[in-house]
Amino acid sequence: MRRIAVHLPALASLALLALAAGPSLAAEPVAAADRPETWDMSLDELRAIGLGQSRGDPRPVPPQYPLRNLAQPVIGYVPPPPQIIFVDFDGETLTSGADDAKNNVTQIGELAGMFAPYGDDPSKKAAVMQATAADWAEYNIMVVDTRPASGEYTMNMTGPTNPFGGGVLGIAPVDCSNLQTHSNITYAFHSVNDGFDASTTATTIGQEVAHSYGLEHVDEPMDIMNPFNAGGDPSFIDMCLPLTGGGGGALCAPQHTQHCADGQGQNSHQELLTMFGPAIPDLDPPVILITAPLNGDKFAPGDGFTVLATITDESPVPDADLYANGALLEKDTSEPWGWQINGLPAGLYTLEIVARDENGNEGLSSPISLLIGEDGDGADGVPYGNCLNNDLSICGLDGTCLSSGMPPTVAVCSEACVNAASCPPSPGGSAPVVCQDVTGDGANECTLDCSLGSCPAGMTCFNSFLCMWA
């Protein structure tokens, strides 16, 4: 934001600075153990230790801009949930006009043109997103870092492009009760290398976005709407705090007086609850899709492969676990979700992924099966071979001997499979190759189904469906 807004005279801005320099008379003190000492410093003291940057005055939406919510009352209107805050780390090319985040049109004319991206540090971006989501967690608001495909949303451009000077951390339009330009664009002048922690960046994002909902500056460093960076981890406070709007008075007085008597300031928390409602508990588990390998894929012994997945959830997902045949194989802790697998012995594997969101909801992927072994040759065994004499070498390293102890004794070599195409071809006869669980152990085996055709020469049809040696 600008340090001196165009709608306030210079003397009013000086008064604003003086108000910000001392503690608020209206606010109840935070417990000493929780309140950083920087919150009780003057502006000069803050600047002496590298803080005190301005989150300056927001700019009113011009009255000629269209009233997007004209049919709705200014006070008490609750938009359809959830309200979306899109934190744009990627940079955009912006044009000038009435705010329209969906089309990258900005009211702040100085920022028309190329807005640079935040920078490439996934862990720092994730920390900023986590801190921002925490600031808005009490309201029916969703914070995302991917542009929504449809609907209205508030976009915060988060990056280093700053035409107002290094002492200014952000700027935004002030749209009283979110009445006019519903898809506002706000700005946080932060980057991956700026030295600010995730909490400070999130506070800037939160303040600028809240301006676009009609919230103004207050004289209390524990509230996100305080205009100066005093460190710590502010929040939207549930109390009436004095505005620091200068001699021009409150810009959005009607929405403030609903919760604070005229002249008693602003209750940021209650105003956000009025506009958006309380948070709706997230009871939905993450949706997990394994995208690679494909179900039924085969790998030669010794080959490595990568398991890839997409995980979708309304809440952050801190980690995801890959399981093979029910045993934990690997853990991943960040997007893009992927697990490099090496050294699995030959055999049939069922892979599943379990992920939990930060609310404890657990999701389970659909399983996929894959086979590690030579393609269709029985791993040096004899496909559908005769293992009646318990000569397991006939079945090869990857085969098993299926047998029945009931008279007459029968047996046949078989291999694990994921589908019929992964089985060796039939050595003869017309019985088709099938992949089915004939032992009841939950794993599929390659067999010849004599209910659908004749067995190869020398084999018998056991139980009217299974070609075996007798």
pLDDT digits (tens, 9 = 90+) for 383-437: 888 887 766 667 766 678 888 766 568 888 888 888 888 888 888 889 999 998 8
- Rounded to 5 degrees, φ, ψ at 270 are -70, -35
Q: Looking at residue 65, what is its pLDDT?
A: 45
Domain end residue (candidates: 276, 308, 329): 276
The stretch 36-58 carries a mean pLDDT of 63
Same-domain pairing of 435 and 460? yes
Distance of CA 134 to the CA centre of its chain: 13
| 189-to-53, 218, 253 alpha-carbon distances in Å | 11, 21, 28
Domain end residue (candidates: 372, 400, 415): 372
Give me 2's structure tokens: 């600008």
Distance of CA 57 to the CA centre of its chain: 31
- Rounded to 5 degrees, φ, ψ at 121 are -150, 90
Q: Looking at residue 51, what is its pLDDT?
A: 58
Tens digit of each residue's pLDDT (9 = 90 or more) over 252-273: 888 888 888 877 789 999 999 8
At residue 117 the predicted structure's pLDDT band, cuts being 50, 70 and 90, is very high
Strand order in the sheet with 92-96: 105-106, 92-96, 113-115
User: Under a CB-based contact definition with an 8 Å cutoff, are residues 135 and 224 in contact?
Assistant: yes
Q: Is the dihedral of CA 24, 26, 32, 36 positive or negative?
A: negative
454 three-state secondary structure: coil
Same-domain pairing of 77 and 172? yes
| 406-to-101, 119, 394, 430, 470 alpha-carbon distances in Å | 74, 70, 22, 26, 11
Same-domain pairing of 23 and 92? yes
457 located within any domain = yes
pLDDT at 235 over 90: yes
Q: What percent of the chain has pLDDT over 90?
A: 42
- Rounded to 5 degrees, φ, ψ at 368 are -125, 155
Same-domain pairing of 80 and 43? yes
pLDDT at 124 over 80: yes
Containing 202, the helix (H) or strand (E) segment is helix 198-211
Q: How far apart are CA 24 and CA 237, in angstroms?
A: 13
Same-domain pairing of 69 and 125? yes
pLDDT at 4 over 90: no
Give the closest residue to 326 by CA, choosing from 297, 360, 349, 292: 349
The stretch 91-110 carries a mean pLDDT of 95
Give me 291's structure tokens: 């995208």
Tens digit of each residue's pLDDT (9 = 90 or more) over 130-182: 999 999 999 999 999 999 988 899 999 999 999 988 789 999 999 888 887 78
DSSP 376: S
Residue ranges making up the domain that contains 29: 10-276
Q: Looking at residue 440, what is its pLDDT?
A: 81
pLDDT at 340 over 60: yes
| 452-to-402, 404, 418, 432, 438 alpha-carbon distances in Å | 20, 21, 20, 7, 16
Give the closest residue to 166 by CA, choosing from 194, 204, 202: 194
The stretch 57-82 carries a mean pLDDT of 51
Q: Looking at residue 71, what is its pLDDT?
A: 41
The count of structural domains within the chain is 3
Specify which of 10-19, 352-361, 364-373 reaches the highest per-range mean pLDDT.
352-361
pLDDT at 126 over 50: yes
Tens digit of each residue's pLDDT (9 = 90 or more) over 192-207: 999 899 999 999 999 9
Q: Looking at residue 269, what is its pLDDT?
A: 94
133 three-state secondary structure: helix
Containing 210, the helix (H) or strand (E) segment is helix 198-211
| 426-to-90, 100, 403, 429, 465 alpha-carbon distances in Å | 56, 65, 19, 8, 15
pLDDT at 83 over 80: yes
382 located within any domain = no
Average pLDDT, the chain: 80
Instruction: Output the domain CATH number for residue 359.
Output: 2.60.40.10
